[in-house]
């Protein structure tokens, strides 16, 4: 994996941990939204780095 993919993976895991340990509803929601955004950036980074091969034909 590339360095940016590792960065997004670590940030996603940290934001999930923050969301699970949050005491207020607003902090928990913000952490889970951040983890969703960071997770999608992780997937895009992996696709860009061609670590996940995208095959448009479903066989």
* Tens digit of each residue's pLDDT (9 = 90 or more) over 19-43: 888 888 998 999 899 999 999 998 8
**Residue 55 pLDDT exceeds 70:** no
The pLDDT assigned to 47 comes to 82
Cα dist from 1 to 18, 22, 27, 33, 35, whole Å: 24, 30, 30, 24, 19
The pLDDT assigned to 21 comes to 85
Residues in the chain: 59
The pTM score is 0.73
């Amino acid at each position: 994996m590339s360095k940016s993919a590792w960065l997004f993976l670590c940030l996603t895991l940290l934001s999930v941990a923050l969301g699970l340990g949050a005491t207020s509803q607003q902090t928990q929601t913000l952490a889970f939204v951040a983890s969703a955004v960071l997770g999608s950036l992780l997937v895009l980074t992996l696709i860009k780095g061609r670590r996940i091969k995208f095959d448009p034909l479903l066989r």
